[in-house]
């Protein structure tokens, strides 16, 4: 099976030796998306705004791969502080309303750039957008 590197200027460039996303078969795997505004380079630190920015970055990578958020099948949310879980859920619910993907949310000791959140997703690429 072949793999395709997914890149877009609408999400932050990789800050290490990895791709923004990889497509293989009918699946797309995004790398973890920090809450960085791709236009300004600003790292967003307020949790709701940060969750929104990370999700917008995931959305941009998925769209570059030819799919949409509704086709996500698995999302992983990495939190600096699990006390932010409810606030993140509020924002997350704006992006996923029907046929919600499976999800894990974990608190981690530290994220790159000392971010408050990082989100990654796996989505199907199909005609069902």
pLDDT tens-digit profile of 10-51?
A: 999 988 999 999 999 999 999 999 999 999 999 999 999 999
Note every long-range contact of 42-46, with CB atoms under 8 Å and residues 24 or more positions apart, other chains counting: 43/113, 43/115, 45/115, 45/116
pTM for the complete prediction? 0.95
Return the SS3 of 30.
strand
What are the structural domain ranges in the chain? 3-124
- Return the CATH superfamily for domain 3-124: RutC-like (3.30.1330.40)
In whole angstroms, what separates CA 110 from the centre of its chain?
Answer: 17
Q: Which residues contact 13 (CB under 8 A, 6 or more apart)?
A: 20, 38
């Amino acid at each position: 099976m072949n793999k395709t590197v997914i890149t877009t200027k609408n999400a932050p460039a990789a800050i290490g030796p990895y791709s923004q996303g990889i497509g293989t078969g009918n699946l797309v795997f995004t790398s973890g998306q920090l809450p960085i505004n791709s236009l300004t380079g600003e790292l967003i630190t307020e949790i709701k705004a940060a969750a929104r920015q990370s999700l917008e970055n995931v959305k941009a990578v998925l769209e570059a791969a030819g799919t949409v958020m509704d086709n996500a099948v698995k999302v992983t949310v990495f939190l600096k502080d699990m006390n932010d879980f409810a606030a993140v859920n509020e924002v997350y619910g704006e992006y996923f309303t029907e046929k919600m993907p499976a999800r894990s949310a974990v608190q981690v000791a530290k994220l790159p750039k000392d971010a408050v959140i990082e989100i990654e997703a796996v989505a199907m690429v199909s005609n069902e957008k």
